[in-house]
Structures are given as C-alpha cells and as structure tokens.
Amino acid sequence: MGQIEWAMWANEQALASGLILVTGGIVATAGQFTSWWFGAYSIVAGVFICLLEYPRGKRRKGSTMERCGQKYLTKVVKVLGPLSRNYYIRAVLHLGLSVPAGFLLATILGTACLAIASSIYLLAAFHGEQWTPIEPKPKERPQVGGTIKQPPSNPPPRPPAEARKKSGEEEAAASAGVSGGPQENPVPVVDEVV
C-alpha cells in the first residue's frame, strides 16, 4: 500500500471531471437554462482543467505511458513552474474552480467529481509527490569509431589484440623471421615460392 502513487489517479479523475464540466456546460448554455452563465463558466473552466491535466507526470519508479501528443502541452505546463509542480496548489485550484459550477443543476456532477479529484491531489501532496515533466530522451547518436584511437599499424593478417600487446612488451625479437621495422610477426612467415 505504501508504494501507491496517488497523483496518477487524481490526474485521471481531474481530466474526466474537466470533460464532465464541459459537457454539462454545453447542455446548460445551449438549453438556455436560467442562470446559464454558470454553464459558460464551466465550459471555460473545464477546458482549462483538461489542458492543465493532459500531460501525465512522470512516475517515481518505472516507465510512464505518455498520452498521445502530450509533449507540446508538457512544455507549456512546465513554464508555470512551481504552480504546476506542487500538488497542494493544484488541490486548492481544483477546489476553487469547482465551487461556482455547483450552482447550476447541469454542472453539479462536475463539481462533485472535481472535488473528489482535489481531495486525492491533497492526499498525493501529503505523500510528498510532485509533478515532473516527461522529458524526451536525447537521442544517443551511435559513436562511430569512438573506441578506435588509431588506425592499425600492421597490415592483415593481424593477430588478436592480446598477442599484439604481448609482442610489444617483449624487448627482444626472438623469432628468426623478424626483420624489424613496422611489421613484427609473432609467427615466422615463410614465403613459399614454387
């Protein structure tokens, strides 16, 4: 139980409440209910909440599934800085946004759902969670030739690296076929001319 990340659930709830607010607001404004201006307010509030909550925050452990196309909104939300990082602020913000929509029957459901989301955010903030944006990983360009410091000095056939190192350490060239100079053969090479 101790490892649950509540913020992810609160995020889903807030996104769903935003959509419910928008729907209720459209019904109220289009039906021209009395005090339909609350409906107009709830459409605006709903859209704002959807945009704020769309980018999913990064999980503490493991990989996070991004929502489709969320990287553009991540940049915008990141700009807000501590306002978007801190979940206490988000909880208070959602609670505040939900109150005016409670006055109209069509949007009262959005109020209830957003209030629940706000309380889960409070729980998440209490557990010390924070919103961290999901950064795209910088593409590691494959380092071609990074381990090759110098081109090989001997033409093929070349013995493996260990044998080359060993022959470099020996000071005297023991084999008879060694001519000295750039090429040092560990094994005597005899030209067979027929």
Partner 1 sequence: MLGLGLCLSRASASVLNLNCSLILLPMCRTLLAYLRGSQKVPSRRTRRLLDKSRTFHITCGVTICIFSGVHVAAHLVNALNFSVNYSEDFVELNAARYRDESIFFPFSQDPRKLLFTTVPGLTGVCMVLVLFLMITASTYAIRVSNYDIFWYTHNLFFVFYMLLMLHVSGGLLKYQTNLDTHPPGCINLNGTHYQNIHLQDYLSEHFRESFPEGFEKPDELTQKRFVKICMEEPRFQANFPQTWLWISGPLCLYCAERLYRCIRSNKPVTIISVIRHPSDVMEIRMVKENFKARPGQYIILHCPSVSALENHPFTLTMCPTKTKATFGVHLKIVGDWTERFRDLLLPPSSQDSEILPFIQSRNYPKLYIDGPFGSPFEESLNYEVSLCVAGGIGVTPFASILNTLLDDWEPYKLRRLYFIWVCRDIQSFRWFADLLCVLHNKFWQENRPDYVNIQLYLSQTDGIQKIIGEKYQALNSRLFIGRPRWKLLFDEIAKCNRGKTVGVFCCGPSSISKTLHKLSNRNNSYGTRFEYNKESFS
Residue number, 13 or 84, with CB nearest to partner 1 = 13
Looking at residue 3, what DSSP letter applies? T
What does the radius of gyration of the chain's CA atoms come to, in whole angstroms? Answer: 34
6 with 123: CB under 8 angstroms?
yes
Residue number, 16 or 51, with CB nearest to partner 1 = 16
Q: Least Å distance between CB 16 and partner 1?
A: 5
What long-range pairs does 56-61 form, CB within 8 A, spacing at least 24?
56/8, 56/11, 56/134, 57/7, 57/8, 57/11, 57/130, 57/131, 57/132, 57/133, 57/134, 58/132, 58/133, 58/134, 59/5, 59/8, 60/5, 60/129, 61/3
Helix (H) or strand (E) holding 17: helix 6-30
Q: Least Å distance between CB 24 and partner 1?
A: 9
Residue number, 18 or 184, with CB nearest to partner 1 = 18
Residue number, 77 or 113, with CB nearest to partner 1 = 113
Q: Least Å distance between CB 38 and partner 1?
A: 9
Residue number, 3 or 179, with CB nearest to partner 1 = 3
The span from the CA of 19 to the CA of 23, in Å, is 6
Q: Least Å distance between CB 49 and partner 1?
A: 14
Looking at residue 106, what DSSP letter applies? G
Looking at residue 130, what DSSP letter applies? B
Give the footprint of partner 1 on this chain (CB under 8 A): 1, 3-6, 8-9, 12-13, 16, 27, 33-35, 56, 59, 62, 64-65, 103, 105-106, 108-109, 112-113, 116
Q: Least Å distance between CB 180 and partner 1?
A: 36
